[in-house]
Every structure is written in C-alpha cells, then in structure tokens.
C-alpha cells in the first residue's frame, strides 16, 4: 500500500545534536535522548539507560554522558541553529530569560553541592536548600496554548567559593561569580544568534541589575530589562547650579527616594 503521508525531514534535531560527538557516541546519545523522554520515575541517567534498552552498554552510556558534559557548548550551539532560529524567524527581536535555579540534592558526597538560599520555601518554609545552583539562559517564546514559555538553551553550574576547596583537585573548577557566568552565557547567545539579524533583549531579576553584569552586556549591544534592587539607593535629581558655584556638577540631589513608599502609591 502506498502511503499518502509526507516523508519526515531527513535530519531530526536529535541527529543535529549528536554530531558534536564521535560517531559511535553520537548514535548512543540519540537513543539516550529517547530514553530521557520516555523514562519514568526519577530522571537519572540510569533511568534513561533502562528506558532506552541499553542496559548491556551501561558503561559506554556513562562515557557518552561524560563526553556530552565536555561538549555542552557545541551541543547547545547546534540546538540553537536547528531549533531556535526557525522558531524566531518571524519575531521582531529575541528575548532571553536569565536566572539562577537551585536543584535539591541528597547525600554529603554530591560534588559541587552546597547550602544555598531557597527562592521557593514551600509549606515547610525552609530558607535554605542543599544542592546545586545553575545559572540558566532560556529563550522566551509564545506557545498558542501555554502562552509565554522559556526554552532552556545553556546553563552553568555555580559553586560557592567555600565549596570549591572541597572538590578534588583533578575536577576542581575555577571560582566564578553568577554575574560572570551570566555574562558568558549572554556572550555565547549573542554569537550564536547573530545570524538571525535581530535585536537581543535579556530579562533578569534584581540580582543581575548590577554593574559587573550590566556593563559587559551593554558592550555587546544587548538590552537588559530588570528591576531595581529593593535596597537601591535612589535620590532626586540635582538642582540648578548657583551663580558662581565652583566644582563639578552634582550627580544626585539631596532627598532620598523610598522604593517602598513609591510602590505603595496608587498613582504610581
């Protein structure tokens, strides 16, 4: 029987991602991707291997996953070209979301884990969480059913300076702040998305409304939308200079502006 259905594209985006690895590892990675999609229970590599039917190759599978970790940027770059660029072809500009996200872990021997502030305490109300913190860069797109959705593109693992010393020397990373990681992610995105020829906007919370992040990103020609820190020191504009006044023009006025009082005004 002759099927009337159209032939699917020859290159699936899974296939584009695996080209960042050796051919043998790439074939195995494509099957692991399928296992990650259909696996049930805890989302672990063991679960992916079991769901993909690769139990007899579990050692090679772990080697493949380690290779992906070393080639993450290359895989993400292929993902941008294969998936992201077609999605944003009709958009006037591209909007990226930037945030740091904790993932809870268990056990004292989890490498790179530490105690971090918990942004979503939940019913228990715990102010801290033990685990990893990832600085994540995602693309904001509009889904016809779900509305605005963030598609994660690339992430960096943040390890506190006090926790870096506890990592074995062979695996010990150089300490970097979240702001430095965020700048690196935006620089990578600007390079990958330059072919789109569209303006790039970044949306972030008040933790990134600071000079170590804003100045390098501004130099890249990227617009940043954020909010002021709640403890931001705001002052009125300086008044006009008096006749004959010497010295440079003042940068700030003499009256402090309270953000809390401004937020409470119904008129804005």
Which ranges of the chain does DSSP label H, i.e. alpha helix? 13-18, 23-38, 45-52, 58-70, 72-79, 85-87, 161-164, 178-192, 211-219, 259-264
pLDDT digits (tens, 9 = 90+) for 33-91: 888 888 888 778 899 999 989 989 889 999 988 888 888 888 888 888 877 877 787 78
Distances (CA, A) of 164 to 151, 178, 249: 29, 14, 46
Q: What is the pLDDT of residue 176?
A: 94
Cα gap 135→122, rounded to integer Å:
21
Domain positions in the chain:
9-70, 74-227, 230-240+250-268
pLDDT along the chain (268 residues), means of 10: 44 72 81 87 87 90 88 87 78 90 84 86 81 93 86 93 89 93 95 87 91 94 87 83 82 83 75
Q: What is the pLDDT of residue 187?
A: 96
What is the average pLDDT score of the chain? 85
3-state secondary structure of 99: strand
- Confidence (pTM): 0.79
Q: What is the pLDDT of residue 5?
A: 43
Question: Is the CATH number 3.90.350.10 carried by domain 74-227?
Answer: yes
């Amino acid at each position: 029987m002759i099927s009337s259905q159209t032939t699917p594209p020859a290159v699936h985006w899974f296939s584009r991602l695996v080209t960042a690895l050796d051919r043998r590892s790439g074939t195995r990675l494509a099957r692991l991707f399928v296992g990650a999609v259909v696996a049930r229970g805890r989302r672990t590599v063991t679960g992916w291997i079991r769901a993909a039917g690769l139990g007899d190759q579990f050692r090679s599978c772990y080697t493949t996953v380690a290779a992906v970790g070393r080639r993450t940027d290359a895989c993400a770059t292929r993902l941008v070209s294969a998936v992201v660029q077609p999605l944003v072809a009709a958009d006037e500009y591209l909007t990226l979301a930037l945030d740091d996200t904790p993932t809870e872990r268990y056990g004292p021997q989890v490498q790179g884990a530490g105690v971090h502030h918990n942004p979503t305490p939940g019913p228990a109300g715990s102010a801290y969480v033990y685990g990893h913190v990832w600085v994540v860069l995602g693309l904001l797109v509009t889904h016809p059913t779900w509305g605005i959705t963030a598609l994660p593109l690339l992430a960096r693992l943040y390890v506190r300076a006090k926790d870096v010393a506890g990592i074995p020397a062979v695996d010990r990373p150089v300490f970097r702040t979240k702001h430095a990681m965020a700048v690196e992610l935006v620089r990578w995105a600007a390079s990958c998305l330059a072919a789109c020829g569209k303006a790039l906007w970044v949306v972030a919370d008040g933790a990134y409304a600071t000079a170590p992040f804003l100045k390098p990103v501004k130099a890249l020609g990227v617009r940043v939308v954020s909010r002021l820190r709640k403890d931001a020191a705001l002052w009125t504009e300086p008044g006009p200079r008096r006749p004959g006044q010497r010295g440079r023009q003042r940068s700030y006025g003499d009256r402090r502006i309270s953000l809390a009082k401004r937020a409470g005004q119904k008129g804005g």
